[in-house]
């Protein structure tokens, strides 16, 4: 994948709706329905929306001369060319005014940017038709964050929310030529700091700044409606940026504008889909219009399904058209069926003239978060089209520190990688931003279910403040209405970890400590929390979400007294990696209803590390490496070394540390994920932390910032396979489960071999197995003695292979000793690389058991179908790869390593 930081393309979010409806500004219109089942009508091209000018040219920026940082950085006070949509950081970088924020250890020296005030401006002419239009609005789809907007010198907007769309009427304020638009962006830290410092009692923030740009005892991020990760997280840097981050548009019309088109799915079954097509109209004047509705089936066949007269009044109006589809082609999560998508086009006509049009694409399905009481608590399972779906996947975070430069290619690569690793669900974590329509379009097409958090990542919010809460509700309406027709979205969740932070975390500004110090204020904070996350956002989703469920926090048990419990609701489990840093085997002791977070860190591949650190700068405690290790609370590299040493011993150098960190991560997450899958139906989901990266550095991701797969991602393809064997060893016993996500019964063969390191087969047995649909069955239990007999546990492994016709073979190898105690010997790895059509074929063989075989092509781009493999002696493993490099170049660059290269023989 190309370097996303320097890619020439930039994603330009293109919302399908011009802007969400403002609350309280609509009315239902009486209308006469005319023939909902019309014969195929002659198709008419849907007219463009009313006159629209995108203001994306000739922007300039500067640091405001009166800004607190202007004296220290006078070079930024001159007007320079800017990119809109964009950010201050990327504009400064484009002019060479700052170093690359991702290379070296530049972060500390760039914190002044978040303390400065910035100004953007552009000039534009107005088309003649627009100048005389009855209505003209300036639409700001994303301002970061405290923005004062001036049109021709007049202040027209004060914005205070990164996540909202701002629509400002400007008719009568426009000039024939030479209009000037200015946006002043105030430092969010300086804006909020006096307020926070004046509070007699603080509420908990998240990550205090290590750089002195903000006092550690007065964190401001949770008071600002701005992405939390801008202020730093334990996987990314602190860059409190600003900018006009989504498009600015001038929209003008004389008749009517379609504000929103929504396909509400009232009831969807295999026999019939009952829909309500809701059209919100913003009319410049009262009039009588004709509304026409077309439906395009997934195969492209288009027919007119409604035509009716509507009388509208000036302002907002809502028209609702009931619609039914017999034998609908239903949308399914990947692995459970196809992803057909219907398109709906609406046209508003006044006489022979089309005055407005809009289109919407959606998939038809039923979604339920099923919670049923049982003897042990309450279930937590997603049911799509009547089928309980075991959720397999990961949490995703922002794709870059600076959102406007994220490309569509990046989004597609990462989401396709998720599907390629047999994931069917991803969770949109609440400390970032609501993704672009393109992101959800891709998820719709791929069949990826999305658990979508509202943008609250941690700490506590001042939800006791009515104005703050009203701002959040407006934001939520904007975003739910924008995204509600995406079939991929199956849940809206209030926040990430705020409930358990308040109830259980030990910080001085959280629940118990604050109650002891200031009980009345603590109760006020909690009451505000319950109002916002228990009532307000739940109401928004109920009113606007099109039938999708709501969950107040992750983890939660729907605001029950006890949260983050295995008995009910969802869980986050961080006692592996986090304190007390249990060994990975502890995962087998925790059996949740739905595990929505757990994880273990690893460094990205050597090529990625080389991007930001010279080889001479690489070491476990060197400044540049430590600058890219953001788990500061636990001294991340020390914590990661703790886990590497636990299983593999001491790495010889930093290259071995990188490699062994990836093996550690992949094997630990595999252990947990297979345990969750084996626990079906008690457990019905496993989402590890995390899918992707926001920059190049150490993190919990399986895919790094460049899109390169770590060992974890290759393991996930195997442990998330629809049909898999889960052989899990603990306390001297191995339990073997066979899991199937298929909706049909399967038959296969289970093979069990006990093999010496040199290839001696001590046991080999096979038996036919039946796998029921949507199931996990226990196939066998073995004690160590029953498997090993007299064989040495440090020189023997057990291989469990499941073969089912039509499915990739599944293997799980069980080890009886820590890797550091095993003499891996020289596996004598051999590789043969040949051209195979447009791709390449790599054949691997090993003389001994070779664990964690990593195939690498250095600086050449090569996409492999498999990697991070365990080879048994004498077998041939075939891996396909794609690359633009030549056969000779690939052969020269090819290298392989296994544990034999990184784990020295044990001393006897």
The CATH number of whichever domain residue 871 belongs to comes to 2.60.40.10
Query: Is the C-alpha dihedral spanning 563, 565, 571, 572 positive or negative?
Result: positive
Q: Are residues 380 and 471 in the same domain?
A: yes
Q: What is the pLDDT of residue 597?
A: 98
The residues facing 268 across adjacent strands are 273
Determine the Cα–Cα distance for residues 851 and 588; give it in Å rounded to an integer.
Answer: 22
Q: Both 106 and 155 in a single domain?
A: yes
CATH for 509: 3.20.20.80
d(CA 497, CA 494): 10
**Structural domain includes residue 598:** no
Angle ∠(719,724,726) on CA atoms, nearest 5 = 75
Q: What pLDDT shows up at residue 507? A: 66
- Asked whether residue 406 falls in the same domain as residue 462, the answer is yes
Same domain, 838 and 784: no
Give the C-alpha separation, 360 to 323, whole Å.
15
HSE (side-chain half, CA atoms, 13 Å) at 573: 26
Q: CATH number for the domain including 232?
A: 2.60.120.260
Asked whether residue 349 falls in the same domain as residue 479, the answer is no
Number of domains in the chain: 5
Distances (CA, A) of 116 to 184, 185, 195: 11, 9, 18
- Sheet bearing 869-871, strands edge to edge: 869-871, 850-856, 895-897
Do residues 353 and 393 share a domain? no
Of 461, 453, 538, 554, nearest to 500 by C-alpha is 554
Quote the pLDDT of residue 508.
63
Residue 678 lies in a domain: no
Distance CA 706, CA 4 (A): 7
pLDDT at 512: 85
Q: What angle do CA 624, 625, 627 make, to 5 degrees?
A: 65
Pairing of strands 549-551, 377-378: unpaired
Same domain, residue pair 432 and 543: yes
Same domain, 296 and 334: yes
Rounded to 10 deg, the angle between the 466-483 and 437-446 helix axes is 50
Nearest in space to 296 (alpha carbons), one of 34, 40, 33: 40
Question: Which residues, in sequence order, are CB contacts of 829 under 8 Å at separation 6+?
Answer: 844, 845, 846, 850, 853, 871, 896, 898
Give whole-number Cα distances, 153 to 157, 173, 410, 612, in Å. 12, 10, 39, 44
**The pLDDT value given to residue 33:** 32
Judge if 288 and 312 occupy the same domain.
yes
What element of type H or E holds 276?
strand 272-283
User: How many CB atoms sit inside 10 A of residue 218's CB?
Assistant: 18
The strand ranges marked E within 741-871 are 746-756, 761-771, 775-783, 796-804, 810-815, 830-836, 839-845, 850-856, 863-864, 869-871
Q: Could you give the 3-state DSSP secondary structure of residue 44?
A: coil
DSSP 3-state of 599: coil
Last residue of a domain, which of 206, 230, 249? Answer: 249
- What does pLDDT average to in each consecutive run of 10 residues of the chain (908 residues)? 34 32 31 31 38 96 95 97 98 98 98 98 93 96 98 98 98 94 98 97 92 95 98 98 98 97 98 98 96 98 96 97 98 98 97 96 98 97 98 98 98 98 98 98 98 95 97 98 98 97 81 91 97 98 97 98 97 97 98 98 98 98 97 91 98 98 98 98 98 98 98 98 98 98 98 97 97 98 97 98 97 98 96 97 98 98 98 97 98 98 88
Strands (E), 14-165: 31-34, 52-54, 60-63, 80-81, 118-124, 135-140, 143-144, 146-151, 154-160
- Beta carbons within 8 Å of 479's beta carbon, 6+ residues apart: 163, 434, 454
> 757 near 822, Cβ under 8 Å?
yes
Whole-model pTM: value is 0.94
Residue 588: inside a domain, yes or no?
no
The helix/strand/coil state of 296 is strand
Q: Which two tokens stand for residue 75?
A: 């070079």
Quickly count: other Cβ atoms within 10 Å of residue 673's Cβ. 25
Phi, psi (5° rounding) for residue 612?
-110, -10
Q: Is residue 656 part of a domain?
A: no
**How confident is the model at residue 38, as a pLDDT?**
30
Same domain? 805 vs 833: no
Written as six digits, the tokens of 271 are 């026999």
Each residue of 697-710: b (16+ CB within 10 Å) or e?
bbbbbbbbbbbbbb
Distance CA 734, CA 183 (A): 64
Q: Which domain holds residue 772?
A: 721-817
Residue 320 lies in a domain: yes
In a domain, 146, yes or no: yes
Q: Helix 466-483 to helix 537-544 angle, to the nearest 10 degrees?
A: 30
Asked, for residue 714, whether it belongs to a domain, the answer is no
CA distance 489 to 486: 6
Are 208 and 353 found together in one domain? no
Instruction: Provide the pLDDT for residue 4.
Output: 36
Beta bridge partners of 395: 427, 689
Q: How is residue 806 written in tokens?
A: 């039509």
Q: Domain boundary residue among 545, 572, 599?
A: 572
Together in a domain, 413 and 548: yes
* Structure token pair of residue 859: 């600086």
Closest CA to 293 of 326, 323, 249, 330: 323
Is 610 a domain residue?
no
- In degrees rounded to 5, what are phi and psi of residue 554? -130, 115
Residue after which a domain boundary falls, among 817, 838, 862 = 817
Whether the link from the prior residue into 690 is cis, omega within 30° of 0, is: yes
State residue 456's pLDDT score. Answer: 98
């Amino acid at each position: 994948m190309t370097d996303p930081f320097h890619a020439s393309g930039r994603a330009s979010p293109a919302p399908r709706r011009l802007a969400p409806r403002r609350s309280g500004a609509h009315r239902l219109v009486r209308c006469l329905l005319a023939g909902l089942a019309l014969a195929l009508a002659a198709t008419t091209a849907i007219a463009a929306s009313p006159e629209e000018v995108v203001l994306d040219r000739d922007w300039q920026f500067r640091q405001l001369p009166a800004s607190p940082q202007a004296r220290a950085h006078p070079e930024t006070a001159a007007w320079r060319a800017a990119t809109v949509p964009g950010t201050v950081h990327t504009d400064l970088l484009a002019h060479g005014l700052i170093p690359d924020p991702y290379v070296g250890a530049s972060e500390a020296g760039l914190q002044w940017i978040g303390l400065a005030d910035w100004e953007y401006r552009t000039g534009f002419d107005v088309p003649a038709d627009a100048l005389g239009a009855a209505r003209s609005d300036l639409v700001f789809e994303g301002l970061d964050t405290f923005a004062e907007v001036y049109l021709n010198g007049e202040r027209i907007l004060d914005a205070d929310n990164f996540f909202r769309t701002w629509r400002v009427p400007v008719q009568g304020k426009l000039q024939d030529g030479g209009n000037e638009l200015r946006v002043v962006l105030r430092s969010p830290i300086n804006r909020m700091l006096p307020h926070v410092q004046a509070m007699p009692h603080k509420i908990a923030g998240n990550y205090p700044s290590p750089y002195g740009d903000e006092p550690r005892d007065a964190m401001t991020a949770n008071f600002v409606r701005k992405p939390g990760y801008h202020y730093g997280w334990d996987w990314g840097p602190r860059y409190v940026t600003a900018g006009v981050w989504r498009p600015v548009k001038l929209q003008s019309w004389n008749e009517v504008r379609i504000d929103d088109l929504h396909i509400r799915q009232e009831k969807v079954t295999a026999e019939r889909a009952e829909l309500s097509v809701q059209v919100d109209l913003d009319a410049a004047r009262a009039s009588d219009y004709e509304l026409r509705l077309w439906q395009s089936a997934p195969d492209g066949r288009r027919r007119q399904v409604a035509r009716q007269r509507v009388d509208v009044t000036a302002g907002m109006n809502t028209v609702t058209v009931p619609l039914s589809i017999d034998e609908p082609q239903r949308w399914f999560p990947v692995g459970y069926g196809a992803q057909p998508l219907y398109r709906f086009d609406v046209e508003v006509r006044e006489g022979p003239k089309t005055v407005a049009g809009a289109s919407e694409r959606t998939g038809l399905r039923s979604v339920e978060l099923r919670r049923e009481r049982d003897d042990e608590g309450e279930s937590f399972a997603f049911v799509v089209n009547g089928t309980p779906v075991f959720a397999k996947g990961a949490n995703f975070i922002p794709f870059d520190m600076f959102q406007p430069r994220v490309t569509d290619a990046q989004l597609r690569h990462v989401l396709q990688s998720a599907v390629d690793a047999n994931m069917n669900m991803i969770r949109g974590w609440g400390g970032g931003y609501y993704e672009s329509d393109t992101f959800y379009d891709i998820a719709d097409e791929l069949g990826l279910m999305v658990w979508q958090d509202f943008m609250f990542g941690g700490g506590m919010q001042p939800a006791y403040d009515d104005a703050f809460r009203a701002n959040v509700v407006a934001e939520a309406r904007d975003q739910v209405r924008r995204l509600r027709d995406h079939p991929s979205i199956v849940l809206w969740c209030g926040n990430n970890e705020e409930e358990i932070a308040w109830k259980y975390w030990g910080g001085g500004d959280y629940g118990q400590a604050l109650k002891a110090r200031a009980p009345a204020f603590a109760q006020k904070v909690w009451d505000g929390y319950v109002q916002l996350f228990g009532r307000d956002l739940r109401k928004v989703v109920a009113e606007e979400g099109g039938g999708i469920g709501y969950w107040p926090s992750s983890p939660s048990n729907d605001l029950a007294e006890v949260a983050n419990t295995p008995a009910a609701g969802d869980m986050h489990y961080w006692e592996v990696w986090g304190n007390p840093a249990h060994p990975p085997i502890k995962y087998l002791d925790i059996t949740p209803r739905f595990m929505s977070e757990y994880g273990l860190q690893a460094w990205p591949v050597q090529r990625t590390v080389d991007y930001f650190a010279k080889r001479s700068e690489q070491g476990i405690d060197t400044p540049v490496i430590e600058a890219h290790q953001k788990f500061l609370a636990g001294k991340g590299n020390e914590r990661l070394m703790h886990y590497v040493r636990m299983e593999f011993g001491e790495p010889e150098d930093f290259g071995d540390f990188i490699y062994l960190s990836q093996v550690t991560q992949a094997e630990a997450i595999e252990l947990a994920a297979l345990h969750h899958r084996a626990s079906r139906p008690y457990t019905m989901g496993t989402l590890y932390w995390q899918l992707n990266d926001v920059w190049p550095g150490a993190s919990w991701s399986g895919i790094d910032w460049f899109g390169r797969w770590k060992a974890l991602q290759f393991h996930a393809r195997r442990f998330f396979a629809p049909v898999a064997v889960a052989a899990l060893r603990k306390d001297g016993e191995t339990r073997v489960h066979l899991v199937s996500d298929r909706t049909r019964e399967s038959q296969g063969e289970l093979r069990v071999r006990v093999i010496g390191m040199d290839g001696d087969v001590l046991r080999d047995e096979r038996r036919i197995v039946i796998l029921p649909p949507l199931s996990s069955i226990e196939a066998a239990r073995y004690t160590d003695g029953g498997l090993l007999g007299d064989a040495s546990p440090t020189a023997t492994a057990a291989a469990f292979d499941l073969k089912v016709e039509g499915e990739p073979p599944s293997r799980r190898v069980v080890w009886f000793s820590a890797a550091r105690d095993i003499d891996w010997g020289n596996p004598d790895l051999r590789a043969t690389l040949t051209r195979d059509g447009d791709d390449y074929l790599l054949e691997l063989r090993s003389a001994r058991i070779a664990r964690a075989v990593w195939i690498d092509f250095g600086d050449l781009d090569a996409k492999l179908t498999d990697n991070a493999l365990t080879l048994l002696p004498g077998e041939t493993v075939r891996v396909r790869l794609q690359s633009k490099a030549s056969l000779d170049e690939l052969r020269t660059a090819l290298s392989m390593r296994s544990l034999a290269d990184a784990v020295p023989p044990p001393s006897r």
